[in-house]
């Protein structure tokens, strides 16, 4: 079954979270992400930043927003991974040293978790290295367990690759094709391809894991995911490819930025590096990157209003604010120590909802605005409390391209959302 945002045969409109019942018995469904600290491929890979989010954050966001789990856990042996997991809303299973060795298998770690959490009836093992997982993937795969009666369900992707038998070096053995006939090579459109595990998720009834030591067994089936969502990260070379893929196909939260109309950006620490220069004559000056102002203009061309924010704590003078307004073509508004009060007024005056707003801040007082906005970001090296609240953490620091980076991210998400809306319109027309 190819995945997509479509209505399933058993979808009666009732949220899946209210239908986690099989044969009249309520099931405790738990998600478990394994995140050992001793990754050999990439050091602390599970919390390394990928497209502005810790790697593990992508799957945690999808799992939590699916709203089908009674509990979402991260199993780890590392304190920093535990902190990130908790910041993203997961519970932490502090695994024992016995299942934290290089030789330890995923099955052993999962069995330890289930022994300590016997209330779990159905377990979903989600791999942290699959950052393009979406809530609808989780919901549709779980439906096969809860509504169709399968004991185990795992994710696959369709591949069209010709495979050959390996030949050991130094031998005269000839290779041979494994899945096709060379004299009759099929065209892609004439070949269904093969189903390969993509590692994104594994749903299994807990007794099958504990009693038989199987993640795949009993009455089992697969859940097919489209290739664009099938991303796996193992070594360094995978990282830049995954980052580009996740920016286009990753899940950025419940709010879909279909119509971002207002961008609010703090001046100090975002548009600038927070410094103000004073000349010998006492004239104040700030440095603003042309990359950032170019990003602002790109947003304005797409109909997004950009308002720059200065606070009562910032030493940016009225005269300097006017120069900024002239330089960027934006309105510059001074807000109080708690920006939310003034920002809320701006949103209400324009008759907008928070999903229509993008916000860029860089400090603790910005947390509420970062949480509420449909899209939000902080520059690199912002305080942890601000980074945890933001939906995107820039690779650039304030005053040196962070605003440009976030503006491009906004436009990319708008383009992606508009493409999805157009596809949905076509699908409805052809239904």
Query: Per residue in 160-201, pLDDT tens?
Result: 999 999 998 888 889 999 999 999 998 888 888 999 999 999
Mean pLDDT of 9-33: 62
Cα 211 to Cα 208: distance, rounded to the nearest angstrom: 6
Query: Would you give the distance in Å from CA 100 to the centre of its chain?
Result: 26
Among 142, 154, 157, 152, CA closest to 220: 152
Lowest mean pLDDT among 94-98, 99-103, 283-287, 344-348: 283-287
**pLDDT at residue 11 greater than cutoff 60:** no
Query: What ranges in 99-221 are assigned the alpha helix state H?
Result: 106-116, 135-146, 206-212
pLDDT number for residue 318: 63
The β-bridge relationship of strands 375-378 and 357-360 is parallel
Lowest mean pLDDT among 14-28, 187-201, 234-248, 338-352: 14-28
pLDDT number for residue 268: 85
pLDDT number for residue 219: 96
CATH number for the region 16-177+190-249 comes to 3.90.550.10
Task: Pick the catalytic residue from 185, 275, 350, 425.
Answer: 185
pLDDT number for residue 208: 96
**pLDDT at residue 271 greater than cutoff 70:** yes
Q: Is 185 a catalytic residue?
A: yes
The pLDDT confidence band at residue 411, using thresholds 50, 70 and 90, is confident
Cα 55 to Cα 47: distance, rounded to the nearest angstrom: 5
pLDDT number for residue 44: 84
SS3 217: coil
CATH number for the region 262-419 comes to 3.40.50.1000
Among 107, 78, 113, 79, CA closest to 93: 113
Provide the 10 A C-beta neighbour count for residue 184. Answer: 6
Domain range list for the chain: 16-177+190-249, 262-419
More confident of the two residues 328 and 286: 328
Most confident of 117-131, 233-247, 271-285: 117-131
Query: Would you give the distance in Å from CA 213 to the centre of its chain?
Result: 31
More confident of the two residues 129 and 52: 129
- Say if residues 145 and 122 touch (Cβ distance below 8 Å): yes
pLDDT number for residue 395: 85
| Angle (deg, nearest 10), helices 55-66 and 135-146 | 50
Provide the 10 A C-beta neighbour count for residue 97. Answer: 8
């Amino acid at each position: 079954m190819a995945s997509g945002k479509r209505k399933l045969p058993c979808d009666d409109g009732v949220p899946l979270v209210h239908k986690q019942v099989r044969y009249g018995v309520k099931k405790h469904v738990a998600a478990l992400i394994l995140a050992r600290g001793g990754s050999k491929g990439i050091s602390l890979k599970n919390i390394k930043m990928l497209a502005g989010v810790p790697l593990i954050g992508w799957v945690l966001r999808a799992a939590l927003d699916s709203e089908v789990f009674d509990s979402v856990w991260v199993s780890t042996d590392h304190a920093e991974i535990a902190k990130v997991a908790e910041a993203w809303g997961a519970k932490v299973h502090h695994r024992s040293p016995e299942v934290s060795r290089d030789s330890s298998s995923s099955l052993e770690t999962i069995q330890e978790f289930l022994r300590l959490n016997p209330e779990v009836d159905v377990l979903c093992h989600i791999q942290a290295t699959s950052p393009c997982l979406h809530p609808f993937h989780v919901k549709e795969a779980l439906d096969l367990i809860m509504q169709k009666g399968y004991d185990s369900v795992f994710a696959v992707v369709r591949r069209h690759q010709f495979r050959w038998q390996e030949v050991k070096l130094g031998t005269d053995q000839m290779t041979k094709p494994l899945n096709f006939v060379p004299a009759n090579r099929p065209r892609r459109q004439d070949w269904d391809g093969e189903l390969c595990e993509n590692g994104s998720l594994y749903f299994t009834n807990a007794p099958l894991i504990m009693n038989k030591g199987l993640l795949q067994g009993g009455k089992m089936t697969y859940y097919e995911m489209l290739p664009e969502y099938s991303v796996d990260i193992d070594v360094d070379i995978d990282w830049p490819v995954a980052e580009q893929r996740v920016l286009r196909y990753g899940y950025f939260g419940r709010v879909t930025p279909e119509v971002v109309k207002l961008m609010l950006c703090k001046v100090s620490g975002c548009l600038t590096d927070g410094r103000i220069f004073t000349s010998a004559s006492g004239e104040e000056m700030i440095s603003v990157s042309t990359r950032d102002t170019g990003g602002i203009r790109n947003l304005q061309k797409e109909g997004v209003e950009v308002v720059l924010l200065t606070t009562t704590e910032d030493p940016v003078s009225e005269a300097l604010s006017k120069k900024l307004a002239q330089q960027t073509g934006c309105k510059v508004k001074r807000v109080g120590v708690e920006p939310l009060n003034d920002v809320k007024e701006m949103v209400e005056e324009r008759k907008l909802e928070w999903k229509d707003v993008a916000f860029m801040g860089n400090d603790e007082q910005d947390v509420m605005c970062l949480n509420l906005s449909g899209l939000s970001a902080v520059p690199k090296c912002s305080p942890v409390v601000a980074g945890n609240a933001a939906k995107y953490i820039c690779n650039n620091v304030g005053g040196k391209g962070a605003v440009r980076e976030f503006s491009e991210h906004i436009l990319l998400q708008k383009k992606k959302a508009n493409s999805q809306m157009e596809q949905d319109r076509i699908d409805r027309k052809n239904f």
